[in-house]
Amino acid sequence: MIYELEASQYGKVHSLFQGLWYHLAIFSVLEGNSPGQVLANDVDDPRTAFVWDQIEGGFYLGGDAGDRAFNRALNAWILEEIYPEAREIPRLLDFTLNYEPEIWMSELDVILEGTRPLKHQRKHFALERLKIADWRTRIPKGFDLVRVDGTFLARTGMENMENVCRWVMNSWQSIENFEERGVGFCLVHGDTIASWCIGDYVADGGKAYEIGIHTDEDYRRRGLATLTVAAAADHCLSRGVEHVGWHCWSSNLASAATARKVGFVQTVEHPVYHAWYNRFDNLLVQANFCFQWEQYEETAMYCERAFAMQEQEAADFFDSSIYPDLPEGWLRYRAASVWALLGENDVAFEHLRQALDDGWRDWASAAADDAFASLRQTPEWRALIDG
């Protein structure tokens, strides 16, 4: 059986998540600081529980993994309850499932059936000590460090202000709540917010925070993220905060490097299962990851499934949040490059023709793309260019 707990019952499952201590999102939900949903196999004496964090979309499994009835019911709940609800919350495009103990992995085929996730690795860092105590003196000339509060958020005409406001509201639901319990700092250059660090979660009576960072693309690789995070970390320490956490994908080397520069140390590297709620977007994202991992057969499979959904005029194709922003014909171009890498030149040419029909014209990229090395020597290639 599966039961949705009331907020007054959340304390009953707190101990089931001690193995996931590094995910403050769980305890922020359980303490009523963040919006979320808590499910358990029993209301009075729960031994298995699931938390859905509605800020960043994390799924968390804790307790006994062997309750098969709960696991099957949870799969139905995810597909029939969470998927529709998440689609109504603009910030929730995807989920990452986390679990402890490891035995949960043997049950994920049941729990995640129908979601088509990919397995990834993520890292958690905790602030050990502030390595950059002199961060104030390192702020470049022309930049101002500003603490985020209601007055700052009310300023108009600033580049990236909308992004900062959205982050604050998503994590804290109101400016008043953020001013009372949140933390945030920005580096401002003229009328542009160049870098910002915002607290995402608070737990343990205000003694524990998790923070996130973002830097405008035009201001990256200049050390600004390091300074902004140092300011936020210093502020937390000055308020008696005992734990400051940081998460990133294991592939995000820049994020991990920034964390270490400030004084964070890695505590855990752990697997997660990731999928997008929109099934068409999920195929696009999985295809992109597999291409990065040089898993070309899998990339081709995801691309072909996406084309099938497109041809069937599936609702998720029309609701896609990714496809409208792709360059014209790009997906066909990607499929062509993958099939070329797999040695299927005829299929690759067919996708290139489709890309041209869809509006793609970037022959400069194709000429420099090693994937098409074998195609560029053929009459078919010259015919496409001349056509």
**Mind listing the pLDDT tens digit for each residue in 18-53?**
999 999 999 999 999 999 999 999 999 999 999 999
The partner residues of 197 in beta bridges, in order of sequence, read: 185, 213
Structure confidence at residue 206 as a pLDDT band (50, 70, 90):
very high
CB 275 within 8 A of CB 283: no
Report pLDDT for 387: 65
Q: Which CATH class is domain 127-269?
A: alpha beta
CB 120 within 8 A of CB 247: no
DSSP sequence for 125-193:
EEE---S-TTGGGGSPTTEEEEE--HHHHT--S-BTHHHHHHHHHHHHSSHHHHHHH--EEEEEETTEE
- What are the sequence ranges of the domains in the chain? 3-116, 127-269, 277-386
CB 277 within 8 A of CB 95: yes
| Half-sphere exposure (Cβ direction) of 252: Cα atoms closer than 13 Å | 18
Average pLDDT of the segment spanning 292-317: 96
- 17-21, 99-103, 317-321, 366-370: range with lowest mean pLDDT: 366-370
The radius of gyration of the chain from alpha carbons, rounded to an integer in Å, stands at: 23
Mean pLDDT over all residues of the chain? Answer: 95
